[in-house]
């Protein structure tokens, strides 16, 4: 069988054995799946509307390669009914549900009507299509605040905004409609009652073309930032068998109501009383499908291909187990310190997946050297760990995150590691508001306790000494004898932020500071980014990001990056004479917080802006971000215009 | 000042002893403080006339005075400027307790303008000299003491410097100069000038024999600038160091230009505009620590091979670090290189990405990172062994060669050649920069320097053509024809006289279908084959294997012996 896969991001292992093509794009020639493909066809240049969303080019590619079936991957065209229609017209099989189901479920409003008819619980206050801002306000008032506004055609949290009053509704309407137009080519919107503090739990369904349908248990996807999933797990700690069965059966009812075939996902919001409401149905393979595969043992892609070929399901509902626990972290190229993740770009100068660990799966479409550009989702990979129990899976996830080497782009591993080790997460007490509730002032990285701080400082000191010792061991023909200082005891000063700590490392093998002792032991290789250390008997995987001659060592410890400065005691004492160098005042300068495209500039030189007033809008990774003034001031100069591509830190607007 | 004269003139055995003991403990940590008891009794007397001290005590006193330099007030003033004292600098630069000082008792000999007075004599004068170790390796050091007569250069000062330079030459060890001097000692007149010339001569004699490094940590003006200029590397400290022939006042009076010290000769000027200095550091401490790091790359002299970090696994302290593994992963593949060169030949990429990915531990000590950025030069290690790296930088001016980049590259190549450091060259060069500015500026003779340097170099030379190698620039960039030992091409390499468009306009002048002709040219020449079939490149290699290949080649080339014909010296087009 000749397959065509439209990959937006990932490839599946089973495909290697099949003949398939990829529509790579000029920008993407470096991505892994292009290498795995038997044939690759370029479908256009970077912006998605010119490549993966360019249906004509893709149809041409299908013709050229003679593909008999197309798997659409996760995003882009996977839920596009037009695409499925055109494929059908060409006689090419679409690996996924038929057009009718995509159309029915792809439309948020129609899908809810169908769900209602199929006796599936739906969210109260559900309403229709919105054309203008004023209409939006009216609808919102009818439903009662808070309300949620999103693009009808968009999946997940894309284009979704929550409004608590009329003003926010107007703003939300404006943003959502723009985003809807730019991402989906369909500017219809949806407004509905917003359920505060809900969990997001979804049921995986699998149906064939013979009227059989199964539910493959749930996935807990409550950990989200800006309504996009970050950490998912299966099963959920929250569901009891009764609720699970009720949700599963409703999901299957819905699938059957639309004659669904292939794999799909029915998303529910679950409130604290375990009431659940239908949210939407995704008529494609979800990014987080691997965790379902882990606990059920089914290969969903294989099942989808079987179904597309017309085979009956191999399993019955009783065959579907919950074996163990699986967790997925979405590793993004973004800065978690800026509203839980603003996109970052760069070239992966070093990249090493923790694949040597047991029961760890990494789905990625990139490799060392790949560019992370502003044109796509900033996802680097999906990191999945599996264990017999939740605790085991979480422990593996910790190890996997610590062993994951990503250099060249800022990534969200610090946040991921904090989430999966947070007591609230560990106890299962989560909701979609987890992040803002746990980090009300924004994510600040791992907060070191006294013991952990000592461990970090001791590790940095040991690394420093290791480098010193290595420098002294040079292999030369000894024309002039080398006489390294035989040292058995070092006095150092380690700085972390404003704090300074005197440290002594003695021959007895201990690092002493502040009256406490830390034993550090480990096989250090200065050429390796990973530093496996045993600190006070506990094994820790640290990473060294950089180490410079002036003693600055950047270590990744417990997921978070710490900049530590190690100096000899003498250098530390003399350092007090060194002048502080002042950096520029930034309150009157607006710089781009991330790389992206300028969508709108709302001010011109001479304007007076109020504090909090929107200055310009940057679109990056398909998200629109409004940049506001931090103080009331007059605009001095504007250095950007709509349509321009800007880099992180680029000067946008100067205030007086 | 007061403290010193007091120390000198204070009488009484016990008192003197106490002072010396106290000072010794204090000085160990470098923070010298003025707690010497004040007795103004014999302040203005010559000490020998009233002293009851034994020779031993006098020695101790002199040493104490020498350690105090220009006195506590001046030391504090120095610290206030954000600068360390001459001795603190030496202490930081060298391994602990390795400094062996010479000429601590030398005093200036000037008898004019009241200089002969006791209060104007400082043991050691305005420079601290001696030898020491950096990571166990011998080095000679002089550190000018700004607290004594503003670090001005007297005959004695110069003589001290010359002495350690002579010693460094006889044993074959590098000299590091820490410059912080107001200039010539005006009271001494011509003697000071003679002193400069003595140093210049030694700089020249030592050039190419031992590495010489200057670190400018304060003012360095007038004739004094020529000593750093003659040394192999000049580093500067930002905001506190200046190098110029004439200061802003003279500039104003002669050319009527208003210019600040910083603009005229600060670190930024010399590392970005003039190319006089090779690197700048934030402050004294960073500069000295970086200098230690830099020193690790250098051989002691031209008699020594390039430094290699030990490959042994060293068990340093069984309890502390079980072992520090010393594998450099010399056979490591570098997959990120397979896609670093963009398919469009007009698109830029960062040569530093290639360099960082290939060398040991991503550790690259770049020389002149902010000057003539279209060429990248610097030191790194391959499998533990120091190498010099030269690379065109496509990110800046397409990586073309111009006057500044040619001179920058040439000087670096000659240093490597002089000190047995193998040279690895990464080529992506579209040619020499055209234009009147370049032609009038003498691109012909300046470009020739780089050509000359690569051609005369006898150290192992490995070249990797990553993309473009066009025209004369191809020849210049360590080509096979200039005795390159190993020359590789990546599959993306294009070795040709020029780019397709220009070539087609010449070959097919007047032909209708230029596009077709261009395609034909690209097919024929925009690939590594024309060079490979002629043996001008030894192999076409997968980029990911580059590190592995270079490490293997360096292993073999370690025993390379090549001698240029005898000559008094070559006549490089200066």
User: For residue A624, is pLDDT > 80?
Assistant: no
B472 is catalytic: yes
Which member of B30, B208, B223, B384 is catalytic?
B223
pLDDT at A39 over 60: no
Q: Which of A235-249, A255-269, A325-339, B3-17 has the lowest mean pLDDT?
A: B3-17
Partner A contacted by B97 (CB < 8 A): yes
Reported confidence tier of residue A129, pLDDT bands at 50, 70, 90 = low
CATH number assigned to the domain comprising residue A595: 2.40.50.100
pLDDT, tens digit, 9 for 90 and up, residues B294-314:
999 999 999 988 888 765 444
Dump pLDDT digits (tens) for A550-588: 999 999 999 999 999 999 999 999 999 998 877 666 677
Report the gap between the CA of A651 and the closest CA in chain B (Å).
21
Q: Does a structural domain hold residue A210? A: no
Res B37: pLDDT: 41
Name A221's Cβ contacts closer than 8 Å, sequence gap at least 6: A200, A201, A202, A229, A232, A288
Query: Are B257 and B333 in the same domain?
Result: no
CB contact under 8 A, A472 and B135: yes
Q: How large is the ipTM?
A: 0.85
Which pLDDT does position A62 carry in this prediction?
72
Between these two residues, A264 and A602, which has the higher pLDDT value? A264
* pLDDT, mean of residues A487-516: 85
Q: What is the CATH number of the domain that holds A40?
A: 3.40.50.20
Give the pLDDT band (50/70/90) at residue A622. Answer: low
Q: Chain B contact for A45, CB < 8 A?
A: no
Buried/exposed code over A385-405 (b: 16+ C-beta within 10 A; e: otherwise): bbbeebeebbebbbbbbbbbb
Which residue of chain A is at minimal alpha-carbon distance from B94?
A485
| Residue A269 placed within a domain | no
Q: Measuring CA to CA, which residue among B412, B295, B418, B382 is closest to residue B558?
A: B382
CA-CA distances (angstroms) from residue B362 to A371, A470, B158? 19, 16, 41
Residue B290 and residue B334 share a domain: no
Between CA B504 and CA B494 the distance in angstroms is 15
Restricting to B residues 419-478, those with a Cβ less than 8 Å away from any Cβ of A are: none
Separation between Cα atoms, residue B466 and residue A99, nearest integer Å: 49
From B10's Cα to the closest Cα of chain A, the distance in A is 30
Write down the pLDDT at residue A586. 66
Answer yes or no: do A141 and A57 share one domain.
Answer: no
Close Cβ partners of B531 (under 8 Å, ≥ 6 residues apart): B465, B469, B489, B493, B495, B537
B249 and B369 both lie in a single domain: no
Is the CB of A489 inside 8 Å of chain B's CB atoms?
Answer: no
pLDDT at A611: 76
In a domain, B68, yes or no: yes
A583 touches chain B (CB under 8 A): no
Report the distance separating Cα B422 and Cα B425, nearest Å: 10
Q: Which of A515, A541, A576 is the last residue of a domain?
A: A576
pLDDT at A623: 63
Are B421 and B387 spatial neighbours (Cβ–Cβ below 8 Å)?
yes
The predicted structure's pLDDT at residue A127 = 54
Whether residue B375 sits in one domain with residue B249: no
- Residues facing residue B175 across a β-bridge: B140, B212
Claim to verify: residue B421 and residue B282 sit in the same structural domain: no
- The pTM of the full predicted model, rounded to 2 decimals, is 0.82
Higher-pLDDT residue of A277, A609: A277
Strands ordered across the beta sheet of B100-102: B100-102, B127-134, B137-144, B175-179, B212-216, B233-237, B279-281
Among A130-134, A410-414, B159-163, name the one with the lowest average pLDDT: A130-134
Q: Note whether B336 contacts A474, CB cutoff 8 Å.
A: no
All residues of chain B having their beta carbon less than 8 Å from the beta carbon of residue A30 are: 339
How far apart CA A423 and CA A401 sit, in angstroms, is: 18
Q: Do B290 and B414 fall within a single domain?
A: no
- Say what the pLDDT of residue B424 is: 98
Residue A333 lies in a domain: no
Contact across the interface for B285 and A578, Cβ inside 8 Å:
yes
A342-351, A493-502, B248-257: range with lowest mean pLDDT: A342-351
Please count the other Cβ atoms lying within 10 Å of the Cβ belonging to residue B11.
14
> Given an 8 Å threshold on Cβ–Cβ distance, is B137 in contact with A526?
no
- A263, part of any domain: no
Range ranked top by mean pLDDT from A132-136, B339-343, B370-374: B370-374
Same domain, A567 and A594: no
Between chains, do B285 and A485 touch, taking CB under 8 Å as contact?
no
Does pLDDT of A274 surpass 80?
yes
Do A572 and A464 lie in a common domain? yes
Q: How confident is the model at residue B119 (pLDDT cuts 50, 70, 90)?
A: confident
In this structure, the answer to whether residues B83 and B126 fall within a common structural domain is: yes
Chain B's closest residue to A467, CA to CA, is B324
Report the gap between the CA of A368 and the closest CA in chain B (Å). 5
In a domain, A208, yes or no: no
Q: A104 or B414, which is more confident?
A: B414
Using one digit for the tens of pLDDT, what is the confidence trace for A356-371? 899 999 988 788 888 8
Whether A655 and A609 have beta carbons less than 8 Å apart is answered as: yes
Residue A642, exposed/middle/buried by CB under 10 A (0-12, 13-18, 19+)? exposed
Q: Do B283 and A579 touch (CB under 8 A)?
A: yes
Whether A224 is in a domain gets the answer no
pLDDT bucket at A34, cuts 50 / 70 / 90: very low
Interface of B with A in 217-256 (CB under 8 A): 239
Q: Which pLDDT score is estimated for A654? A: 85
**Can you say whether the dihedral through the CA atoms of A525, A530, A534, A536 is positive or negative?**
positive
Same domain flag for B292 and B333: no
* Number of structural domains chain A divides into: 4
Beta-carbon separation of A509 and B320 below 8 A: yes
Judgement on whether residues A599 and A565 belong to the same structural domain of the protein:
no
Query: Is the Cβ–Cβ distance between A608 and A634 less than 8 Å?
Result: yes
Report chain B's C-alpha Rg in angstroms.
28
Alpha-carbon gap, residue B226 to B552, rounded angstroms: 41
A48 & A92 share domain = yes
Of all residues in chain A, the one with the smallest CA distance to B299 is A476
Closest Cβ opposite residue B82 in set A468, A508, A577:
A577
At residue A621, the pLDDT reads 59
Chain A CB contacts of B98 below 8 Å: 483, 485
Average pLDDT across chain A, whole number:
81
pLDDT tens profile B535-548: 999 999 999 999 99
A478 pLDDT band, cuts 50/70/90, is low
Chain A, 5 to 44: residues with Cβ < 8 Å from chain B are 26, 29-30
Q: Do A521 and B321 count as a contact with CB atoms less than 8 A apart? A: yes
Regarding whether A163 and A89 lie in a shared domain, the answer is no
The whole-number average pLDDT for the span A67-79 is: 66
Task: From residue B27, give the alpha-carbon distance in Å to each of A122, A199, A253, A467.
Answer: 80, 66, 85, 27
Classify residue B564: in a domain, yes or no: no
At residue B158, does pLDDT exceed 80? yes
A84: phi then psi, degrees, rounded to nearest 5: -60, -40
Question: What's the pLDDT band for A390 if we cut at 50, 70, 90?
Answer: very high
Indicate the DSSP class of residue A409. Answer: S
Is the per-residue pLDDT at A227 higher than 90? no
Q: Name every chain A residue with its beta carbon within 8 A of the beta carbon of B544.
A: none
Nearest to B66 by CA among B102, B92, B41, B38: B102
pLDDT (0 to 100) of residue B4? 37
Task: Give, in order, the Cα–Cα distances in Å from A254 to each of A6, A115, A292, A542, B504.
Answer: 27, 6, 20, 48, 66
Q: Classify residue A430: in a domain, yes or no.
A: no
Contact: A469, B324; criterion CB under 8 Å = yes
Domain of A513? Answer: 450-576
Q: Measured between CB atoms, does B506 come within 8 Å of chain A?
A: no
What is the band of A454 on the pLDDT scale with cuts at 50, 70, 90? very high
| Residue B433 forms part of a structural domain | yes
Query: Considering only alpha carbons, which residue of chain B is nearest residue A527?
Result: B361
Which letter does DSSP use for residue A379 in this model? E
Asked if A521 and B319 come within 8 Å (Cβ–Cβ), the reply is: yes
Q: Residue B116's pLDDT is what?
A: 83
Higher pLDDT, A71 or A274: A274
Judged by a CB distance cut-off of 8 A, whether residue B508 touches chain A is no
Q: Is 80 exceeded by the pLDDT of residue A154?
A: no
Whole-number pLDDT of residue A54: 64
Most distant CA pair in chain B, distance: 104
pLDDT tops 60 at residue A377:
yes
pLDDT (0 to 100) of residue A364 = 83
User: Is residue B200 domain-shared with residue B255, that is, in the same domain?
Assistant: yes
Quote the strand ranges of A248-378, DSSP E: 262-270, 276-282, 325-332, 334-335, 342-343, 346-347, 350-352, 360-364, 371-372
d(CA A579, CA A599): 42
A455 and A532 together in one domain: yes
In contact, A259 and A98? CB cutoff 8 Å: yes
In this predicted structure, the answer to whether residue B12 has a pLDDT above a threshold of 90 is: no
Count of alpha carbons within 13 angstroms of residue B101, beta-carbon side:
17
Give the mean model confidence (pLDDT) for residues B99-109.
94
Q: Give the CATH number, domain containing residue A157.
A: 3.30.1490.20
Answer yes or no: do A581 and B325 touch at CB < 8 A. Answer: no
Q: Is A611 a catalytic residue?
A: no
Find the mean pLDDT for residues B67-82: 93
- Cβ separation of A579 and B289 shorter than 8 Å? no
Last residue of a domain, one of B277, B296, B315: B296
Residue B335 and residue B281 share a domain: no
Q: Compare CB distances from B30 to A347, A520, A573 and report the shortest one's residue.
A: A573
Structure confidence at residue B427 (pLDDT): 97
CB-based contact (8 Å) between B322 and chain A?
yes
User: Is residue A239's pLDDT more than 60?
Assistant: yes
Choosing from A147, A174, A193, the residue where a domain stops is A193
Contact B335 A368 (CB under 8 A): yes
For residue A346, list chain B residues with Cβ-Cβ distance below 8 A.
none
Nearest residue in chain A measured CA to CA from B324: A524
Structural domains in chain B (count): 2
**Do A489 and A567 belong to one domain?**
yes
Do residues A236 and A201 touch, judged by C-beta distance below 8 A?
Answer: yes
Phi/psi for A277 (5° steps) reads: -130, 135
CB pairs under 8 A between A and B: 187
The terminus-to-terminus CA distance of chain A in angstroms comes to 66
Q: Are A474 and B343 inside 8 Å of each other by CB?
A: no
Q: Which of A280, A328, A619, A648 is catalytic?
A: A280
Judge residue A257's burial from the number of C-beta atoms within 10 Å of its C-beta, 0-12 exposed, 13-18 middle, 19 or more buried.
Answer: middle
**In B, which residues are within 8 Å of A550 by CB distance?**
281-282, 285-286, 289-290
Identify which has the larger pLDDT, B105 or A183. Answer: B105
Q: Provide mean pLDDT across the span A434-452.
A: 91
B12-25: average pLDDT: 36
- The range of the structural domain enclosing residue B102 comes to 55-296
Examine the fold and report which residue of A155, A170, A193 is the final residue of a domain before the chain moves on: A193
A455 and A572 in one domain? yes
Shared domain for B359 and B430, answered yes or no, is yes
Q: Say what the pLDDT of residue A125 is.
A: 60
Share of chain A above pLDDT 90, in %: 31
> CB-based contact (8 Å) between B342 and chain A?
no
Query: Residue B2 carries which DSSP code?
Result: H
Q: Give residues with Cβ within 8 angstroms of A302, minimum separation 6.
A: A14
**Mean pLDDT of all residues in A630-655:** 82
Q: How far apart are CA A414 and CA A512, in angstroms?
A: 28
| Same domain, residue pair A454 and A564 | yes
List the CATH number of the domain containing A533: 3.30.700.30
Q: Are residues B283 and B334 in the same domain?
A: no
Q: Tell me the CATH number at B128.
A: 3.90.226.10
pLDDT tens digit sequence for B188-245: 989 999 999 999 999 999 999 999 999 999 999 888 899 999 999 999 999 999 999 9
For chain B, give the mean pLDDT.
86
In a domain, B7, yes or no: no
């Amino acid at each position: 069988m000749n397959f065509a896969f439209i990959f937006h991001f990932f490839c599946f292992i089973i495909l290697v054995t099949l003949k398939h093509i990829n529509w790579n794009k000029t920008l993407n020639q470096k991505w892994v799946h292009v290498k795995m493909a038997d044939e690759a066809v370029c479908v256009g240049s970077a912006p998605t509307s010119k490549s993966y969303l360019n249906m004509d080019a893709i149809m041409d590619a299908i013709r050229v390669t003679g593909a008999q079936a197309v798997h659409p991957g996760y995003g882009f065209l996977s839920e596009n009914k037009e695409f499925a229609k055109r494929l059908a017209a060409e006689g090419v099989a679409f690996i996924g549900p038929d057009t009718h189901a995509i159309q029915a479920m792809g439309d948020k409003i129609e899908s809810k009507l169908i769900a209602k008819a199929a006796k599936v619980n739906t969210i109260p206050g559900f309403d229709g299509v919105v054309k203008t801002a004023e209409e939006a306000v009216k609808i919102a008032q009818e439903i009662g605040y808070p309300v949620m506004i999103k693009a009808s055609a968009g999946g997940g949290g894309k284009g979704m905004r929550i409004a608590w009053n009329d003003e926010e509704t107007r703003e939300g309407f404006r943003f959502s409609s723009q985003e809807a137009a730019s991402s989906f080519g369909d500017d219809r919107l949806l407004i509905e009652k917003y359920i505060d503090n809900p969990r997001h739990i979804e049921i995986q369904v699998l149906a064939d073309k013979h009227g059989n349908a199964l539910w493959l248990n749930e996935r807990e996807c409550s950990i989200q930032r800006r309504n996009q999933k970050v950490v998912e797990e299966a099963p959920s700690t929250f569901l009891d068998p009764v609720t699970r069965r009720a949700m599963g059966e409703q999901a299957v009812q819905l699938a059957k109501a639309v004659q669904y075939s292939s794999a799909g996902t029915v998303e529910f919001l679950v409130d604290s009383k375990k009431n659940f409401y239908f949210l939407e149905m995704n008529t494609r393979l979800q990014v987080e499908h691997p965790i379902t595969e882990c606990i059920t043992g089914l290969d969903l892609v294989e099942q989808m291909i079987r179904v597309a070929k017309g085979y009956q399901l191999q399993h019955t509902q009783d065959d579907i187990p919950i074996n163990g626990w699986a967790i997925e972290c979405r590793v993004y190229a973004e800065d978690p310190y800026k509203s839980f993740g603003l996109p970052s770009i760069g070239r992966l100068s070093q990249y090493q997946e923790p694949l040597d660990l047991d029961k760890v799966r990494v789905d990625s479409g990139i490799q060392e050297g790949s560019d992370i550009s502003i044109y796509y989702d900033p996802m680097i990979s999906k990191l999945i760990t599996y264990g017999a129990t939740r605790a085991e899976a979480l422990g593996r996830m910790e190890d996997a995150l610590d062993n994951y080497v990503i250099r060249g782009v800022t990534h969200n591993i610090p946040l991921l590691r904090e989430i999966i080790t947070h007591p609230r997460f560990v106890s299962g007490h989560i909701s979609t508001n987890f992040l803002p509730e746990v980090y009300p002032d924004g994510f600040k990285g791992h907060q070191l306790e006294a013991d952990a701080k000592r461990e970090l400082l001791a590790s940095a000191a040991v690394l420093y000494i290791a480098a010193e010792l290595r420098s002294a061991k040079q292999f030369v023909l000894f024309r002039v004898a080398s006489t390294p200082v035989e040292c058995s005891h070092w006095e150092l000063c380690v700085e972390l932020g404003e704090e300074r700590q005197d440290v002594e490392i003695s021959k007895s093998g201990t690092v002493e500071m502040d009256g406490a002792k830390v034993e550090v032991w480990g096989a250090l290789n200065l050429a390796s980014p990973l530093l496996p250390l045993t600190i006070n008997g506990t094994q820790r995987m640290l990473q060294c990001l950089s180490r410079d001659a002036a003693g600055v060592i950047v270590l990744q410890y417990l997921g978070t990056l710490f900049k530590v400065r190690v100096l000899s005691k003498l250098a530390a004492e003399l350092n007090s004479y060194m002048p502080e160098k002042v950096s520029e005042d930034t309150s009157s300068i607006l710089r781009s917080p991330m790389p992206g495209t300028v969508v709108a500039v709302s001010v011109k030189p001479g304007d007076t802006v109020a504090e909090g007033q929107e200055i310009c809008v940057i679109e990056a990774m398909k998200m629109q971000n409004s940049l506001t003034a931090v103080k009331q001031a007059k605009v001095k100069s504007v250095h950007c215009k709509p349509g321009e591509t800007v880099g992180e830190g680029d000067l946008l607007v100067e205030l007086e | 000042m007061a403290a010193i004269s007091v120390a000198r003139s204070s009488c009484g055995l016990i008192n003197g002893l106490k002072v010396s003991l106290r000072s010794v403990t204090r000085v160990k940590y470098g923070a010298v403080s003025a707690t010497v008891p004040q007795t103004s009794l014999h302040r203005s007397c010559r000490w020998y006339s009233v002293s009851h001290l034994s020779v031993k005590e006098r020695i101790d006193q002199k040493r104490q005075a020498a350690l105090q330099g220009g006195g506590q007030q001046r030391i504090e003033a120095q610290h206030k400027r954000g600068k360390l004292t001459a001795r603190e600098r030496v202490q930081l630069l060298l391994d602990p307790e390795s400094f062996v000082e010479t000429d601590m008792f030398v005093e200036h000999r000037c008898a004019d303008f009241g200089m002969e007075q006791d209060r104007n004599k400082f043991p050691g004068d305005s420079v601290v000299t001696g030898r020491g170790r950096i990571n166990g390796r011998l080095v000679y050091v002089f550190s000018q003491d700004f607290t004594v007569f503003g670090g001005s250069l007297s005959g004695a000062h110069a003589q001290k410097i010359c002495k350690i330079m002579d010693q460094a030459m006889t044993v074959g060890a590098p000299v590091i100069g820490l410059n912080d001097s107001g200039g010539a000692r005006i009271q001494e007149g011509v003697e000071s000038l003679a002193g400069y010339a003595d140093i210049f001569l030694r700089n020249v004699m030592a050039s190419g024999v031992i590495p010489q490094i200057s670190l400018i940590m304060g003012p360095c003006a007038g004739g004094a600038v020529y000593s750093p200029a003659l040394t192999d590397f000049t580093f500067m400290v930002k905001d506190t160091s200046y190098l110029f022939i004439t200061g802003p006042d003279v500039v104003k009076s002669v050319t009527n230009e208003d210019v600040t010290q910083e603009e005229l000769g600060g670190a930024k000027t010399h590392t970005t505009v003039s190319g006089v200095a090779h690197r700048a550091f934030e402050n004294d401490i960073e500069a000295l620590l970086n200098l230690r790091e830099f020193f690790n790359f250098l051989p002691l002299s031209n008699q020594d091979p390039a430094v290699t970090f030990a490959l042994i696994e060293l068990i340093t302290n069984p309890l502390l670090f079980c072992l520090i593994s010393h594998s450099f992963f010399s056979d490591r593949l570098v997959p990120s290189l397979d896609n670093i060169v963009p398919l469009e030949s007009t698109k830029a990429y960062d040569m530093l990405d290639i360099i960082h990915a290939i060398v040991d531990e991503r550790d690259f000590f770049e020389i002149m990172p902010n000057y003539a950025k279209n060429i990248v030069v610097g030191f790194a290690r391959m499998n533990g062994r120091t190498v010099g790296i030269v690379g065109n930088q496509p990110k800046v001016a397409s990586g073309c060669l111009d006057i500044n980049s040619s001179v920058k590259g040439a000087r670096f190549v000659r240093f490597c050649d002089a000190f047995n450091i193998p040279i690895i060259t990464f080529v992506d060069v579209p040619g020499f920069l055209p234009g009147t500015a370049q032609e009038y500026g003498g691109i012909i003779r300046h470009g020739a320097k780089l050509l000359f340097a690569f051609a005369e170099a006898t150290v192992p030379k490995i070249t990797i053509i990553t993309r473009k190698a066009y025209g004369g620039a191809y020849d210049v960039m360590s080509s096979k024809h200039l005795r390159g030992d190993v020359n590789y091409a990546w599959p993306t390499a294009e070795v040709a006289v020029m780019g397709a468009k220009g070539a087609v306009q010449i070959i097919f002048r007047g032909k209708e279908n230029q596009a077709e002709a261009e395609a034909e040219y690209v097919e024929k020449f925009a690939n590594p084959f024309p060079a490979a079939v002629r043996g001008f490149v030894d192999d076409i290699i997968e980029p990911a294997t580059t590190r592995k290949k270079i490490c293997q080649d360096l292993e073999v080339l370690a025993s390379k012996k090549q001698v240029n014909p005898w000559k008094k010296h070559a006549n490089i087009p200066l």
